């Protein structure tokens, strides 16, 4: 009996922390769950249903896009790195070299998985690597690999460029990503990607039933975004920063719209994406494991509830206070954060999405699509300590900076994977300009320049109403969410 309860706790821990399991382990867990169907059903902790486990397995083990590159190309990447990194890699063992490559491109291992496969790519039995959702939605929380956490270190542009060079050295032709990158910038700062444009560009080649059609030339606004954490999914009725799309399993398939996937693909994989939907819904934010001053946090809760909760909701209290999420959209002129993302999606684009197969949840029929949202929806703040940088474009490195609108850094870069324990967020350095001796393009892309298009750190002046003492208490309270 003892063994059984340990197993159950283990599974619950995995689900709670957004972690999951290798195939072998998940088959084992699948069995345990069949034996103990009521494993961790506590509403606040997420539910380890069979379908959620299947969803995770599908995302990590099934490629839904054509393969990006082969293991042999990945293993030879070091040969195109700049010096002195290349010489260091040459002297290193294959294992260390792989570690260096993971580090350079923002890849991580999979938690609780003895294989050395990356979380962010499906690696099949013939050694082909294919990007999966975790490349943007599976990062590390201060160094701890966490599926569902935004990957705030993903270096897609650098990886793609260097894969192209490595393929050339191997006498291979460039792939879909390398060719695409010649026309569409993939992301100018590590940890952010031009993700919305991928979806819009791909949808441009489809009719509403997802049949392939001739593309009409269109002008797209290129801009980078920071992926949101998946542990809010269960709370949000509508998704994306402007909340334009009602959530549903079909909508989750947009990212797979490459021409190779015909309309059949969508019908064939629909049930897999129901599992993915269940997996996303099962995730919960990790809990802060550092010190919290409970008295100060309690003062912060009171300040938060009268200044922030109308938009961000409430998070319950130890004496039974209820949690709520208002799903409130704030007009762009009131929120004042970077407006590029709001305008980059057109009314026509959203309308087309609304008429498409994606926005018809199946038996439930037509979903609600807001074709002209006038602002951004305040996200839930559960686990907010674990998902820096902040705002939809990732322009603000710490919660302290969110609370001090006039003191946010203009040009910054992360200098460590450790949490800034005072300001809560990324440990960064501020500079006036990128030093001229930083020559490696991968390093140059670690700087976030808030003066660039779509990268403004302005707005959200609501904390200005607070005194410094109140801000300190709210910062403490935010750690408890």
Q: How far is CA 210 from the centre of its chain?
A: 25
Which C-beta is closer to ligand HEC: that of 89 or that of 119? 119
Which C-beta is closer to ligand HEC: that of 162 or that of 224? 224
Which C-beta is closer to ligand HEC: that of 180 or that of 205? 180
Task: Give which of 247, 233, 77, 61 is closest to 155, Cα–Cα.
Answer: 77
**Six token digits for residue 106:** 């923002």
Q: Summarize as ranges the residues that interact with ligand HEC (CB under 6 A).
A: 133, 135-137, 193, 195-196, 225, 227-228, 232-233, 236, 239-241, 252, 255-256, 276, 280, 307-308, 310-312, 330, 335, 337, 341, 376, 378-379, 381, 384, 387, 390-392, 399, 402, 460, 462-463, 466, 474
Which C-beta is closer to ligand HEC: that of 210 or that of 280? 280
State in angstroms the smallest separation of the CB of 1 from ligand HEC: 38
Instruction: Please report, for residues 22, 24, 287, 474, the alpha-carbon distance to residue 30 in angstroms, rounded to integers and kept in the order given.
Output: 11, 10, 25, 41
Q: Do 455 and 339 meet the contact criterion of CB atoms below 8 Å apart? A: no
State in angstroms the smallest separation of the CB of 233 from ligand HEC: 6
The residue behind tokens 């709520």 is 324
Which C-beta is closer to ligand HEC: that of 255 or that of 288? 255
Q: Do 169 and 75 meet the contact criterion of CB atoms below 8 Å apart? A: no
Beta carbons within 8 Å of 296's beta carbon, 6+ residues apart: 472, 473, 476, 477
State in angstroms the smallest separation of the CB of 388 from ligand HEC: 8
What is the C-alpha separation between 273 and 253, in angstroms, rounded? Answer: 7
Cis-peptide, bond into residue 411, ω within 30° of zero = no
Which C-beta is closer to ligand HEC: that of 310 or that of 372? 310
Task: Give which of 222, 169, 232, 164 is closest to 197, Cα–Cα.
Answer: 222
What is the C-alpha separation between 286 and 14, in angstroms, rounded? Answer: 10
State in angstroms the smallest separation of the CB of 102 from ligand HEC: 17
Q: Do 477 and 300 meet the contact criterion of CB atoms below 8 Å apart? A: yes
What is the C-alpha separation between 272 and 249, in angstroms, rounded? Answer: 9
What is the C-alpha separation between 29 and 11, in angstroms, rounded? Answer: 7
Radius of gyration (C-alpha) of the chain in whole angstroms:
22
Q: Do 284 and 231 meet the contact criterion of CB atoms below 8 Å apart? A: yes
State in angstroms the smallest separation of the CB of 251 from ligand HEC: 8
Which C-beta is closer to ligand HEC: that of 341 or that of 423? 341
What is the C-alpha separation between 196 and 202, in angstroms, rounded? Answer: 10
**Six token digits for residue 328:** 């409130």
Which C-beta is closer to ligand HEC: that of 26 or that of 238? 238
State in angstroms the smallest separation of the CB of 121 from ligand HEC: 11
State in angstroms the smallest separation of the CB of 97 from ligand HEC: 25
State in angstroms the smallest separation of the CB of 406 from ligand HEC: 15
Which C-beta is closer to ligand HEC: that of 232 or that of 413? 232
State in angstroms the smallest separation of the CB of 253 from ligand HEC: 7
């Amino acid at each position: 009996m003892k063994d059984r309860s340990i197993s159950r706790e283990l599974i619950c821990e995995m689900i709670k922390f957004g972690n999951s399991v290798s195939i072998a382990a998940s088959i084992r867990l699948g069995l345990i769950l069949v034996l103990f169907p009521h494993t961790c059903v506590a509403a606040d902790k997420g539910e380890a249903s069979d379908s959620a486990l299947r969803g995770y397995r599908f995302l990590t083990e099934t490629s839904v896009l054509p393969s990006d590159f082969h293991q042999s190309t990945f293993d030879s990447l070091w040969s195109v790195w700049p010096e002195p990194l290349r010489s260091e890699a040459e002297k290193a063992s294959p294992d260390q070299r792989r570690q260096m490559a993971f580090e350079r491109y923002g890849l991580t291992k999979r938690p609780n998985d003895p294989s050395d496969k990356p979380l962010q790519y499906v690696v099949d039995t013939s050694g082909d690597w294919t990007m999966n959702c975790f490349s943007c939605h599976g990062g590390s929380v201060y160094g701890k690999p966490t599926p569902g956490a935004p990957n705030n270190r993903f270096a897609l542009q650098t990886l793609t460029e260097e894969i192209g060079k490595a393929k050339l050295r191997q006498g291979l032709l460039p792939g879909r990503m390398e060719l695409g990158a010649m026309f569409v910038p993939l992301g100018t700062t590590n940890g952010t990607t031009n993700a919305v444009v991928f979806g819009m560009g791909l949808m441009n080649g489809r009719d509403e039933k997802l049949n392939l059609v001739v593309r009409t030339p269109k002008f797209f606004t290129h801009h980078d975004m920071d992926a949101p954490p998946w542990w809010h999914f269960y709370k949000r009725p509508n998704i994306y920063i402007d909340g334009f799309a009602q959530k549903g399993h079909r909508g989750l398939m947009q990212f797979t719209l490459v021409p190779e996937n015909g309309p059949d693909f969508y019908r064939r994989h629909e049930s897999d994406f129901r599992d993915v939907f269940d997996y996303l819904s099962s995730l919960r934010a990790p809990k802060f494991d550092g010190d919290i001053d409970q008295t100060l946090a309690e003062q912060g809760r009171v300040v938060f509830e009268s200044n922030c909760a109308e938009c961000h909701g409430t998070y319950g209290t130890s004496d039974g206070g209820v949690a709520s999420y208002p799903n409130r959209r704030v007009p762009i002129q009131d929120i004042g954060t970077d407006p590029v993302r709001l305008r980059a999606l057109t009314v026509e684009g959203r309308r087309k999405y609304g008429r498409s197969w994606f926005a018809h949840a199946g038996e439930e029929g037509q979903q609600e699509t807001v074709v002209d949202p006038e602002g951004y929806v305040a996200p839930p703040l559960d686990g907010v300590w674990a998902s820096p940088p902040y705002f939809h474009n990732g322009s603000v490195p710490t919660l302290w900076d969110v609370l001090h609108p006039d003191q946010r850094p203009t040009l910054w870069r992360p200098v460590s994977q450790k949490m800034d324990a005072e300001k809560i967020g990324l440990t960064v350095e501020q500079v006036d300009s990128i030093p001229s001796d930083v020559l490696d393009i991968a390093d140059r892309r670690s700087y976030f320049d808030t003066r660039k298009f779509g990268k403004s750190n302005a707005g959200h002046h609501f904390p200005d109403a607070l005194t410094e003492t109140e801000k300190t208490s709210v910062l403490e309270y935010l750690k408890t969410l």
